[in-house]
Structure 1
């Protein structure tokens, strides 16, 4: 069996770490190539509606200088106000559940039109710590792309286990990436497990361009009998113009009685309010400005402990070229990585060897649903850190 494909070769210590996606910039227009809109429309002009875009090699001109694993990880370890910590400190099951809903919203980060992260290579990892929170991701499948996340915080007795399988399809005037898989948040002190979905990413080409999060998200805790339904949507607009594209609405209710306890309404990039349907009292559930602005860029603290499979190492040359706006160099470096992966795939197929993940066990059903379970009980401290 081949277990650590991305680690082939000498140990590398080079890592390119970039600002996280946030409300106040991060990787915004300064890294965009010239004539981006024209290039995007030209690319999709050659794609048939209904096509699965995971089968296409995206030109480096359309890449932001980081991997999809880093984007997933940033949603967990890059934050201003610590909503995850609030989940573990709730005095009642209802208070904890409302905090989990707020934390789930906090993982929604701004998307950039026309720019996508790198599709992680098989066996790629991303390992980062923030205080007592340790986060580890691994790309457990390349075709289809499936990413697994495990995070533990011994201080707050919190554990996260995610399994994400994005399925982007072209619909003529738009691209929608359906994010399949589940997110689990476990509050170990209380014996509570919360299961939730992720919203889908909608990239609009006509009549106006943009990138928005849309769709329904369900959050449930069987241990407390509480559930929440959230809907990410674009508010009323005329002929596709105007309106708010970052609206969110929903409710928290009892699973058995279906009785609504709280109504949720607002915008995930601003303020989301919570209304007690019994008393009419309205409170702030989530403040995006506090949660996802002023975010700090991770730093490499222990180069000697960096794995060669680390996203920031695997894509370092490509990322640096993009940051320098050296598009030809970025394309050449990306092509070398992709060709190496195709070569390894051919060698595995020829020899009949089976690749298995290093940090997760993976199962999938005939319906092509995936489940990822961490092999270790806790995630160790990482060589890359984020200062609180």
Structure 2
């Protein structure tokens, strides 16, 4: 069952201070940074909290499990829920929508790669680059928490986004984004497992994103990069990406990206390279003889990257952060949000953090967490199984053959993609399927459907 009361006894009371939280709700402006900062200048630890920071570091350094289970001091929190990070998959709605203009599979793959790079900048660097502050920890979403947003584009109209926390142990966030005018949409999920190694926090991201378009039957399946949170001991943490990620299309085209961390004594931050190639094989194998290279890509995922046509050697810009302004995100005021929406759930905590009242922030955060423990206990006593309101699980063996085959191709190289997908119940292809059988119940508008389900 879906527990819609979740934090009503807590969050509703907390939103008495919701006034407007306008600086963080109705319309958060996003701007293109004049320059991208490799490392933040400011120390994220207030002078008054240096003792608590050292105590926390001692705990982290001696901890052997998943760091997400540790309680983080409120002065190290950034004041937003992890669910909001998922919205960066739609930061550049025109970049997403323009994929549908490509007339061939290789050109579509190139534009999907361009869009993928744009999502990474938004997810993992933009907020730090624009504020020049260090990387801080987001709130761990409560079970059933939702985040809803939209973006307007003069050419492509509205892009909508829905995210729901579909699992708490392990923590899993499911996302859905859609531009109805362009006919492009995607489902996905992400989860993180983190540990401290040396002086760096290593974060393995588990999950996938499946991209579809109405003007073609081609499906694109994406894996996620690993993350390194660096310079934690100095109090100036920043993020780098590492490892390898892939995109696989159902037409047999693939993209492979290698994310490079800065070497100890030389080199630069945030570099990557990769290639786009045709591969008729059923399973991925590095440098397989059948792979036909089409394009190479390289650059900095926080700045500019280029793509080169292998046959002609012609080079062009893949994605340029400085030249591509992100769209303004639109979020309803806290006072208009449901009791499960992120900024209403965490409103009191976020306001206390913003004002530097870390004692109040910790207290309000504890109230929310204790309420969640009580709810889990109540469900256990009633032998009730919680189910998400907005998403459903589809195992790969039960999915469409194109999706199943694409992820089967990737799995040997990237088992962190898992073997199934969280799918928005009213995503376009689900509604199309339901309409064909006469069983459709959704409006087809993600924002309206999510609000009605809350």
TM-score band by shorter chain is 0.7 to 0.9
Q: 1:322 to 1:207 in 2, by over 3 A?
A: closer
Name 1:376's counterpart in structure 2: 426
CA–CA distance in structure 2, aligned partners of residues 243 and 40 of structure 1: 30
- What RMSD, in angstroms, separates the aligned Cα atoms of the two structures? 3.1
Report if aligned partners of 1:31, 1:323 keep a CA contact under 8 Å in 2: no
The alignment status of 1:169 with 2:195, answered yes or no, reads: yes
Q: Could you list the per-position Cα deviations for residues 111-160 of structure 1 after superposition, in whole angstroms to 9, with x for gaps in the alignment?
A: 45451111100000011122321110000011111000112221011111
Q: 1:353 to 1:302 in 2, by over 3 A?
A: closer
Relative to total residues, which structure has the larger helix share, 1 or 2? 2
Report if aligned partners of 1:308, 1:314 keep a CA contact under 8 Å in 2: yes
Secondary structure of the 1:70 match is: helix
Q: 1:153 to 1:114 in 2, by over 3 A?
A: closer
In the TM superposition, what is the alpha-carbon distance from 1:379 to its structure 2 partner?
3.9
In the TM superposition, what is the alpha-carbon distance from 1:213 to its structure 2 partner?
1.6
The alignment status of 1:97 with 2:97, answered yes or no, reads: no
Name 1:250's counterpart in structure 2: 274
Q: 1:294 to 1:163 in 2, by over 3 A?
A: closer
Q: 1:265 to 1:297 in 2, by over 3 A?
A: same
Secondary structure of the 1:300 match is: coil
In the TM superposition, what is the alpha-carbon distance from 1:94 to its structure 2 partner?
1.5
In the TM superposition, what is the alpha-carbon distance from 1:362 to its structure 2 partner?
2.9
Name 1:275's counterpart in structure 2: 308
Report if aligned partners of 1:84, 1:103 keep a CA contact under 8 Å in 2: yes
The alignment status of 1:298 with 2:330, answered yes or no, reads: yes
Report if aligned partners of 2:192, 2:204 keep a CA contact under 8 Å in 1: yes
Which piece of structure 1 moves more, 41-50 or 192-201?
41-50
Name 1:289's counterpart in structure 2: 322
Q: How does 1:251-266 map to 2 (within 5 A)?
A: 251-256=275-280, 257-266=290-299
Q: 1:66 aligns with which of 68, 80, 83?
A: 80
CA–CA distance in structure 2, aligned partners of residues 33 and 83 of structure 1: 36
In the TM superposition, what is the alpha-carbon distance from 1:205 to its structure 2 partner?
3.9
Report if aligned partners of 1:33, 1:325 keep a CA contact under 8 Å in 2: no
Matched residues, number: 374
Name 2:209's counterpart in structure 1: 183
Report if aligned partners of 2:91, 2:326 keep a CA contact under 8 Å in 1: no
Name 1:352's counterpart in structure 2: 383
Q: How does 1:189-228 map to 2 (within 5 A)?
A: 189-205=215-231, 210-222=238-250, 224-228=251-255
Structure 1 unaligned regions, length at least 5 = none
Secondary structure of the 2:378 match is: helix
Secondary structure of the 2:59 match is: coil
Q: 1:84 aligns with which of 87, 96, 106?
A: 96
The alignment status of 1:337 with 2:368, answered yes or no, reads: yes
Structure 2 unaligned regions, length at least 5 = 129-133, 153-157, 281-289, 397-415, 428-443
The alignment status of 1:123 with 2:147, answered yes or no, reads: no
Q: 1:116 to 1:21 in 2, by over 3 A?
A: farther
Secondary structure of the 1:181 match is: strand
Secondary structure of the 2:6 match is: helix
Report if aligned partners of 2:148, 2:331 keep a CA contact under 8 Å in 1: no
TM-score (norm. length: structure 1):
0.86
Which piece of structure 1 moves more, 54-63 or 36-45?
36-45
Q: 1:184 to 1:118 in 2, by over 3 A?
A: same
Secondary structure of the 2:220 match is: strand
Report if aligned partners of 1:262, 1:276 keep a CA contact under 8 Å in 2: yes
Q: 2:176 aligns with which of 140, 150, 153?
A: 150
In the TM superposition, what is the alpha-carbon distance from 1:331 to its structure 2 partner?
1.1
Q: Could you list the per-position Cα deviations for residues 49-87 of structure 1 after superposition, in whole angstroms to 9, with x for gaps in the alignment?
A: 5421122122211110110111111x13333x7210111
Q: 1:231 to 1:20 in 2, by over 3 A?
A: farther
Report if aligned partners of 1:166, 1:179 keep a CA contact under 8 Å in 2: yes
TM-score (norm. length: structure 2):
0.74
CA–CA distance in structure 1, aligned partners of residues 266 and 360 of structure 2: 39
Q: Could you list the per-position Cα deviations for residues 344-370 of structure 1 after superposition, in whole angstroms to 9, with x for gaps in the alignment?
A: 1122222211111000113679x9755
CA–CA distance in structure 1, aligned partners of residues 328 and 160 of structure 2: 16
